[in-house]
């Protein structure tokens, strides 16, 4: 069974993430969407909410599982009985960062491979960081995220005031 782990903070999960999972679901037997905590990013939505939203938004994809993790990614991948990390690449800047991660992950566990998918062209400009920034100014993020996510971000923005 080919199990791919798709890690990220998904803060918030965007239409680009959804597109990647939908397309990858035909390539792998199972995809584990691993919602992690990046201690270097300011978190707008708590991990439990991000897991809940990812499950709701991706519920139509039959071969996925969504869970939270707070360990080294390579440890999580091994525990999930996988050897594949799935990542999305939007830009050259993404590639440089991802290339560093691949190198580090190979040192930590040489048996784990990373597979990259590019987003659909009409979604390639969407990033969680930009969505959070737009939302922080009360902007309309409905073109970039599922309606449930837009509502959760609006509520989080309201609660932070």
Instruction: Show which residues are catalytic.
Output: 17, 41, 90, 128
Token digits of residue 135? 């939302």
Q: Of all helices (H) and strands (E), which one includes residue 7?
A: strand 3-8
- Residues across the chain: 161
Collapsing DSSP states into helix, strand and coil, what is residue 157? helix
User: Exposed e or buried b for every residue in 106-125, given b needs 16+ CB within 10 A?
Assistant: eeeeeebebeebebeeebbe
């Amino acid at each position: 069974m080919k199990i791919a782990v798709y890690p990220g903070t998904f803060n918030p999960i965007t239409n680009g993430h959804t597109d990647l999972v939908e397309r990858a679901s035909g390539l792998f037997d199972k995809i584990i969407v691993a919602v992690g905590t990046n201690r270097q990013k300011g978190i707008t939505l708590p991990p439990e909410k991000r897991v809940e939203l990812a499950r709701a938004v991706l519920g139509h994809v039959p071969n996925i599982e969504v869970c939270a993790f707070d360990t080294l990614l390579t440890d999580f991948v091994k525990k999930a009985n996988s050897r594949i990390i799935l990542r999305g690449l939007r830009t050259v800047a993404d590639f440089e960062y991802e290339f560093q991660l691949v190198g580090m992950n190979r040192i930590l566990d040489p048996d784990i491979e990373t597979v990259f998918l590019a987003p659909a062209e009409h979604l390639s400009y969407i990033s969680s960081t930009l969505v959070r920034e737009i939302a922080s100014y009360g902007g309309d993020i409905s073109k970039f995220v599922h309606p449930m996510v837009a509502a959760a971000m609006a509520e989080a923005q309201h609660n932070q005031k």
